[in-house]
C-alpha cells in the first residue's frame, strides 16, 4: 500500500487541487470557490488548509506559482500544474479509486463472519 | 465611524489575532497570512456588503484557522517547526540571562569603584590625574 493510500484525507485534498489545476492556472480564492461550487457545497476547503497544501506541493515541485497584477495595486498568485504534478495526480487518482473500492466493499457487508 | 473604517479596523484585529496565535512564525506563516489576506480581500470584492461576522463565518475564527493550518502540516514538518521555535526561545532566554548578568556585574563594578573613591579620595584624585595624563 502506498503512503498516500494511508493518508486518505491529505491525498484527497491534494488530488482535488491538482485536478483543478490540470484544467487551468488558478489562484487561492478561485480554488476554494470552485471546490465549493463543483461539489455543490458538500466539500468546503478552508483557506487555512488550502494554502499549507499548496506550499507542500510547491516544495515538491508538483506545481509552480507566478504573480499577476489584478485590480488596483493588488497582485494575485496563480498556481500552475507541472509535469511532475501531473504524474503525481495520476497516482493519487489510482490510489483514491482503490481505497474507495475498499470502502465500498466494507459497506456492502451485510453480516460479519468470524 | 463609517462602515469601511470599522471593517478595516476589525480586519486588522482579525489578522493580528491569527498572527499572535501561531506557536511559530517563520517565512511560511508570513506568506500564509499574506495569501489569506488576499483571499479575504477577494471575498470582500465579491461581497461588498460583507461584515466582519460574515468573513469570520466564511473563513473561520482565528483559533480555527491556526488549528487547521497546523493540522495540515506533515508530522515531520510540525516537529521541525516546533523544535526550531523552542530552540530560538531557549537561545533568546540564554542571551537575555547573559545580558542581564553582565549588566549586574557592571553595576557591581561601578558601585565598588564609587565606594573605593569615597573611602580613599586621594586615590581617586590620583586616578583622575593619571587619566588626564593619559
Measured distance CA(A31)–CA(A10) in Å, rounded: 16
Statement: residue B36 has pLDDT above 70: yes
Distances (CA, A) of B103 to A28, B6, B11, B95, B110: 51, 46, 42, 12, 10
Tell me, what's the pLDDT at B60? 93
Are A52 and B36 a contacting pair at CB < 8 A?
no
Are A48 and B43 a contacting pair at CB < 8 A?
no
pTM of the predicted structure, to 2 decimals: 0.74
Return the DSSP state at B120: -
Residue of A nearest to B62 (CA): A48
Chain A environment of B36 (Cβ under 8 Å): 47-48, 51
Are B32 and A56 a contacting pair at CB < 8 A?
no
Are A56 and B74 a contacting pair at CB < 8 A?
yes
What is the SS3 assignment for A77?
Answer: strand
Residue A49: φ, ψ to 5°? -100, -35
Grid cell 493588488 — which residue?
A74
B131 — pLDDT class (breaks 50, 70, 90): low
Residue of A nearest to B42 (CA): A29
pLDDT digit string, tens, across residues A8-52: 777 899 999 999 999 999 999 999 999 999 999 999 999 999 999
Collect all residues with Cβ–Cβ distance below 8 Å to B7 and sequence separation of at least 6.
B44, B51, B52
Statement: residue B52 has pLDDT above 70: yes
Chain B environment of A52 (Cβ under 8 Å): 32, 69, 72-73
Judge whether A81 and A62 are in contact, CB under 8 Å: yes
Amino acid at each position: 500500500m502506498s503512503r498516500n493510500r494511508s493518508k486518505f484525507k491529505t491525498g484527497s485534498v491534494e488530488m482535488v487541487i491538482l485536478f483543478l489545476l490540470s484544467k487551468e492556472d488558478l489562484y487561492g480564492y478561485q480554488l476554494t470557490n470552485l471546490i465549493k461550487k463543483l461539489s455543490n457545497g458538500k466539500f468546503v476547503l478552508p483557506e487555512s488548509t488550502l494554502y499549507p497544501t499548496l506550499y507542500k506541493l510547491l516544495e515538491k515541485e508538483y506545481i509552480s506559482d507566478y504573480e499577476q497584477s489584478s485590480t488596483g495595486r493588488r497582485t494575485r498568485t496563480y498556481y500552475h500544474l507541472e509535469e511532475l504534478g501531473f504524474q503525481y495526480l495520476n497516482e493519487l487518482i489510482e490510489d483514491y479509486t482503490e481505497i474507495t473500492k475498499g470502502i465500498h466493499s466494507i459497506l456492502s457487508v451485510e453480516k460479519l463472519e468470524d | 465611524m463609517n462602515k469601511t473604517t470599522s471593517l478595516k479596523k476589525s480586519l486588522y484585529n482579525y489578522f493580528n489575532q491569527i498572527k499572535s496565535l501561531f506557536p511559530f512564525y517563520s517565512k511560511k506563516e508570513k506568506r500564509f497570512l499574506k495569501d489569506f489576506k488576499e483571499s479575504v480581500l477577494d471575498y470582500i470584492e465579491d461581497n461588498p456588503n460583507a461584515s466582519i461576522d460574515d468573513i469570520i463565518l466564511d473563513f473561520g475564527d482565528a483559533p480555527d484557522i491556526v488549528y487547521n493550518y497546523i493540522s495540515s502540516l506533515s508530522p515531520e514538518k510540525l516537529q521541525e517547526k516546533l523544535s526550531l521555535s523552542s530552540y530560538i526561545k531557549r537561545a533568546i532566554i540564554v542571551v537575555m540571562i547573559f545580558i542581564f548578568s553582565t549588566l549586574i556585574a557592571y553595576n557591581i563594578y561601578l558601585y565598588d569603584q564609587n565606594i573605593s573613591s569615597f573611602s580613599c579620595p586621594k586615590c581617586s584624585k590620583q586616578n583622575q590625574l593619571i587619566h588626564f595624563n593619559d
